[in-house]
Amino acid sequence: MLSQGLVIILTVSSLVLLAVGLPMALGKVPPNPIYGVRLPVTFRSRAAWDAANTHYGWWLITSGAASLPVILVIWVGGFGEPAIFVWLGVLVAPILGGLPFTVQRAYQAERRERAGADRAPDSDTPESDDRDSLPPQFSS
């Protein structure tokens, strides 16, 4: 049987993942050197930062939410301390499993952003046609 102190530690660990993942999933974490998915690609591109952090935030939420019922089953079921490895597996699997997909999302977002910036405006559209506009010094 797990001690109450150990159950509290496991529960708080799961809740911390939920608390860390929620702002990331909601897109509330601006680029910074401390908190979030910090990869070279995410620092080069704001789109990559947003895509990676939003995606990985959901993985963290999944990890924290999935591990909470496992703690309850271990505690109520009277399983011993070796059952903590089951909780650890449920906690760590989404965190590690989501990393490759998160990195892929970041690189895809950077490529999309770069492709959009490299695309020249269409010269046939009125917005980009400035042949009839006068320079500022000749405007009235």
Tell me the percentage of the chain whose pLDDT exceeds 70: 84
pLDDT at 132 over 90: no
Rounded Cα gap, residues 52 and 101, in angstroms: 9
- pTM equals 0.79
- DSSP conformational letter for 133: P
- Residue-averaged pLDDT of the chain: 88
* pLDDT one-digit tens code per residue, 43-75: 999 999 999 999 999 999 999 999 999 999 999
CB neighbour class for 137 (10 Å; exposed up to 12, middle 13-18, buried from 19): exposed
Q: Among 69-73, 79-83, 114-118, 124-128, whose mean pLDDT is lowest?
A: 124-128
Confirm if 70 and 87 have CB atoms less than 8 A apart: yes
Residue 116, both tokens:
């959009």
